[in-house]
Amino acid sequence: MSEFNAMPAFAGGLLIGIAALVLGRGTGHVAGISGILGGLLGHKAHDRPWRVSFLVGLPVGALAVWAAALGERPQIESGALMLVAAGVLVGFGTRLGGGCTSGHGVCGIARGSKRSITATMTFMGAGAVTVFVMRHVLGVG
């Protein structure tokens, strides 16, 4: 396991914030991935180009950073079934919470949305409890 370096995290957060700002100011849309994907799968044909561009840019950007050796290659230690189950749970939570972490945490808080602030506090708290239980109670990770 490598040492934590705050600069890549800071730079990544800054770029996410700038992207959300550009999308919000440029199109009036929130940079929430679940909403962007949901709109793409819906019946809004005039919205498709920017939605496809945004979604394609996510993995392409990550691959570009990795190819430029600016980041570590992630190690996935779970099997395919566990990854599918995790994806289903994330999708369910996104639906239940009325949006995803990027929509609530980045854009919603920036807009002062009480619902987004509450949602972000909830998923951050749940994440902290999960890490505590996994590491200190179950001894995993």
State residue 136's pLDDT score.
93
- Quick check: is 42 in a domain? yes
Residue 79: inside a domain, yes or no? yes
Residue 122 maps to a domain: yes
Q: Give the chain's residues under pLDDT 70.
A: 1-2, 70-74
Residue 1 lies in a domain: no
Q: How many domains are there within the chain?
A: 1
pLDDT score for 76: 77
pLDDT value of residue 90: 85
Question: pLDDT value at position 110?
Answer: 85
Does residue 25 contact residue 107 with C-beta atoms inside 8 Å?
no
Dig out the tokens for 77 from the structure. Answer: 């230690």
3-state secondary structure of 112: coil
In a domain, 116, yes or no: yes
Asked whether the beta carbons of 105 and 120 are under 8 A apart, the reply is yes
| 20 within domain boundaries | yes
| DSSP state letter for 99 | S
pLDDT tens digits, 35-58: 888 888 877 778 888 889 989 998
The pLDDT of residue 132 is 95
**Is residue 120 domain-resident?**
yes
pTM, rounded to two decimals: 0.69
DSSP 21-78: HHHHHHHS----HHHHHHHHHTT-GGGHHHHHHHHHHHHHHHHHHHHTT-SPPP---S
The residue segments making up the domain with residue 29 are 6-137
56 located within any domain:
yes
